[in-house]
Amino acid sequence: MDLQKYRNHLFQTMKSKLEAWLHTDEAGKIQGEEVYRFLHSIKGTSGTLQLAGLMNLAKGLLDQLKEDDQKAWDQIELKTFLFPLIQLIYQYENFNEFVDHDTPCSNADAPLIQIIDDDVSLLMFLKDALEEKNWMVMTHTNPEIAVNKYFEMKPDCLILDVALPNKDGFQVLKEIQEHSEKYFVPTIMISINDNRQVRIEAYQNGADDFFKKPLDMDEFIVKINRHLQRKKNFDQSVLIDELTQIYNRKYLADSLPRYFHDFKRTRQAFSVCIVDIDFFKKINDSYGHLMGDQILRDFAQYLKQHVRSLDMVYRYGGEEFILVFPKTSKEETKERLNELIKGFSNMEYIYEEKRFSVTFSAGVCEVDDESVTVEEALKRADHSLYEAKRLGRARVECLQSLPSQHKRTIVNISVIDDDVIIRALLAQLLESLKIKQIELNIKTFEDGPSFLQSEHAKEDVNHFIVLDGVMPIMDGLEVLQAIKQSDNAYKYKVLMLTGRNSKKEIEQALKLGVDDYVTKPFYTQELRARIQRILNQMQ
């Protein structure tokens, strides 16, 4: 007997019931007895239809309830409680299968590949093919947007077409190479024309490899994998940060514990500091990532030249640096850092005839107790840095104990999708994210107008949006265009959900400057990783 049509009917019944409940606005509307009967029915029917996974899930949820439960569930509580069921319904509806925990999925640390090509069909094909290998791929058709994203996201491999609109691939590669010679990023150029002169010019401009279109995908993937491995080996072997030419995070992890070991032997206090360039994101937005990189280089060298020979300077990540002052009390450290802040703020930068200066803030932890660990010292310094930022920046603070609460930067997150199951799924996924120093303010909207007219959209904070491409009233492209034309467009990052074969939609989204796109149906863990990577850039 073919059970498939009965299984489909069961899942449609479950989805209809959940949609009705999740659309409920009144708190206490859904009675506990109703939830119990719903799960009890699923358990019995799924067992009959040989859906053991669904039966066990329903049984597990039922075990947490009582048949005569008088509890009145509000929408948020019920959504959280039934989330495993919501996830299973999405998986079955889109893949006609249950959650496969062995399915490969990208994580936030997966290698990032950037592809720049004006052939959208090829971009879509390459993105799908490479992401099957558990790599993360971002695509661009506009060379100007692509260069900005290169410096912002810092990919692990660049794939670049020779023939591009307005600016050819050689010009793009030359621009990248001129301003990022300190970075090692394997670059592959592709072209329909592979004559000798084109290949020579590609290598002269810094390409590491060259492929003729149409691509031999087996060879192409093997070469990409090899280049990514070279990049990984290089990153693991070097102790010097490529951009700033000071010690990197790897060397910090190797060397910092030695200071704690020495303290236990000598009992001489020392200070660990985290310093951070003030308003660095605004600098990048106003003057470009190239100027931002120049400031990072100058800042690193300034610190290196103005500390003692026994002091250590490391690049911690982004615009954060760590300083270690051996045999130095917190009072002495604060005095030195204040002098460094004053000196660096006197340096002047010029961008398009505009003159500006840059400051930094610092957080200090004095290690004067052998019970203090490396992790705790860094956490104290980080909280002290936050306090310096909170009190006005361009200053030094030293907290010797961790505060009970630590206020973080707010980022508004919006999920805009007309499917209530998708909204519930993504909201729960986003709520599970933990991003350092960022508090996520998450809201969901069933259409574009309700988002654009909301106070949530108008708040003067950074925004991240997960946007469905196809919606009633106002489609995703219209919402994206409204966002990109707004006065505070620079504060938005947008990830669009689009159909697998929606070439025209993807082409328009890329032209409008979407930050990333994911085709439906998607694996939730892969989408979570992509979102986390984007949010990490918004700190």
- Is the peptide bond preceding residue 521 cis, with omega within 30 degrees of 0? yes
Percent of the chain with pLDDT over 70: 92
Give the containing element (helix H, strand E) for 370.
Answer: none
What CATH number should be reported for the domain holding residue 134?
A: 3.40.50.2300
Contact at 8 Å (CB) between 467 and 419? no
Residues 6+ apart with CB under 8 A from 347: 298, 302, 357, 358
Check residue 339 and give its pLDDT: 96
- Across the range 258-282, mean pLDDT stands at 93
Q: Judge if 372 and 448 occupy the same domain.
A: no
* 411: its two tokens: 């980022």
Q: Which domain holds residue 124?
A: 112-237
Cα-trace Rg, the chain = 27
Same domain, 233 and 253: no
Once rounded to an integer, what is the mean pLDDT over residues 478-501? Answer: 87
Query: Are 184 and 261 in the same domain?
Result: no
Q: Residue 215 in 3-state DSSP?
A: coil
- Supply the pLDDT for residue 488: 83
Looking at 213, 237, 261, the residue that finishes a domain is: 237
Within this chain, do residues 388 and 414 fall inside the same structural domain, yes or no?
Answer: no
Cα distances from 362 to residues 103, 326, 386, 392, in angstroms, run 44, 17, 9, 12
Work out whether strand 320-325 and strand 312-317 pair parallel, antiparallel, or are unpaired.
Answer: antiparallel
The average pLDDT across 473-480 equals 91
Mean pLDDT estimate for the chain: 87
Query: Is 109 in contact with 103 (CB distance < 8 Å)?
Result: no
507 catalytically annotated: no
The residue from 19, 178, 319, 459 that is catalytic is 319
Residue 147 parent element (H or E): helix 143-153
pLDDT of amino acid 439: 83
| 39 within some domain | yes
Q: What is the pLDDT of residue 29?
A: 73
Domain for residue 243, yes or no?
A: no
Residue 244 lies in a domain: no
The reply to whether 532 falls in a domain is yes
Residue 102 pLDDT class (50, 70, 90 cuts): very low
257 and 224, same structural domain?
A: no
Q: What does the pLDDT read at residue 68?
A: 64
Nearest to 45 by CA among 9, 84, 76: 9
Can you tell me the mean pLDDT for 497-518?
A: 86
Domain assignment of residue 404, yes or no: no
Pick from 398, 422, 456: which residue ends a domain?
398
Check residue 137 and give its pLDDT.
Answer: 94
- Domain assignment of residue 103, yes or no: no
pTM > 0.75: yes or no: no
Q: What percent of the chain has pLDDT over 90?
A: 47
Residue 106 pLDDT > 60? no
Co-location of 298 and 422 in the same domain = no
> Domain check: are 279 and 340 in the same one?
yes
Distances (CA, A) of 371 to 261, 368, 376, 397, 418: 11, 9, 10, 22, 54
Same domain, 176 and 201: yes
Task: Output 209 or 289, whichever has higher pLDDT.
Answer: 209
pLDDT at 67: 65
What is the pLDDT at residue 80? 84
The mean pLDDT value for 82-96 works out to: 78
Q: Identify whether 21 is part of a domain.
A: yes
For residue 57, pLDDT over 50 is answered with yes
The pLDDT of 506-530, averaged and rounded, is: 85
CATH number at residue 271: 3.30.70.270
Provide the pLDDT confidence category of residue 346 given band limits of 50, 70 and 90.
very high
Same domain, 195 and 84: no
Distance, in Å, from the CA atom of 140 to the CA atom of 124, rounded to the nearest integer, reads: 11
Q: What is the pLDDT of residue 402?
A: 60
More confident residue, 282 or 343: 343
Check if the beta carbon of residue 247 is closer than 8 Å to that of residue 240: yes
Task: Give the confidence band of 272 by pLDDT, cuts at 50, 70, 90.
Answer: very high
pLDDT digits (tens, 9 = 90+) for 404-458: 555 567 899 999 998 887 888 888 888 888 776 678 899 999 899 999 999 999 8
389-408 pLDDT, tens digit per residue, is 989 999 999 987 665 555 56
Is 102 contained in some domain?
no
Domain count, the chain: 4
Quick one: 40 and 131 in the same domain?
Answer: no
443 and 343 inside one domain? no
Task: Return the beta strands (E) in 21-66 as ranges.
Answer: 30-31
Q: pLDDT-derived band of residue 104, with 50, 70 and 90 as boundaries? A: very low
**11 closest CA partner among 75, 99, 91, 81:** 91
pLDDT at residue number 345: 95
Residues 277 and 224 both lie in one domain: no
- Cα–Cα nearest to 321, from 281, 278, 261, 350: 278
Residue range 133-185, pLDDT digits in tens: 989 999 999 998 898 888 888 899 999 999 998 889 999 998 888 766 567 89
Q: Which of 95, 124, 148 is the last residue of a domain?
A: 95
Residue 534 or residue 5, greater confidence = 534
Residue 110 and residue 298: Cα distance in Å, rounded? 30
Give the pLDDT score at 1.
55
Please tell me the predicted confidence (pLDDT) of residue 69: 66
Q: Cα torsion at 283, 285, 291, 295 (round to 10°)?
A: 30
Of 58 and 325, which is predicted with more confidence? 325
* DSSP string of 334-350, one letter each residue: HHHHHHHHHHHHT--EE
Any alpha helices (H) in 374-419, and if so which ranges? Answer: 374-390
